[in-house]
Amino acid sequence: MEPTSFRRFSLAVWLGIAGNVALAVPLLFVPAWGLGLFSLPLPDTFVWTRLAGLLVILLSLMYVPVAVLPEKLGRLCWLVVIARAGAAAFFLTQGGAYLPFAAYDALFGVAQAALLAAKK
């Protein structure tokens, strides 16, 4: 993969990180509002909602090395794509109000996979 492809992949990973954090921070700090944005049901307690937000942020932090040094990490970049595919599959099985989350992860996963597979 040429340097331009790595730069584009890196940009796609950074955009995915930003999107993840933007969705997760409200779940962590104002979970009722965050769930309300997507018309999701409010649970009796928000501990699991907050934990989900925290875990998405932590997962996103694990993407940072790949975003910074994709040319050095090579095959490890595919773990980002695998994580996106797993998240997309999970949300797809939930259906209904969760389908936008499946589409979001699928969009980033497909874009990142295409950029990794590019051989110019």
Enumerate the domain spans of the chain: 3-117
Condensed to tens digits (0 to 9), the pLDDT of residues 49-99 reads 999 999 999 999 999 999 999 999 988 999 999 999 999 999 999 999 999
- Of 24, 1, 17, which Cα lies nearest the Cα of 71? 1
**pTM of this structure:** 0.90
Q: Is 34 exposed, middle or buried (0-12, 13-18, 19+ CB in 10 A)?
A: buried
Round to whole Å and give the CA distance between 120 and 106: 24
pLDDT score of 97: 93
pLDDT tens figures, 15-61: 999 999 999 999 999 999 999 999 999 999 999 999 999 999 999 99
Classified as helix, coil or strand, 44 is: coil
What confidence tier does 119 reach under pLDDT thresholds 50, 70, 90? low
For the cut 80, the answer to whether the pLDDT of residue 3 exceeds it is no
Q: Name 34's Cβ contacts closer than 8 Å, sequence gap at least 6.
A: 23, 26, 27, 49, 53
Cite the DSSP H helix spans in 30-69.
Answer: 31-37, 47-68
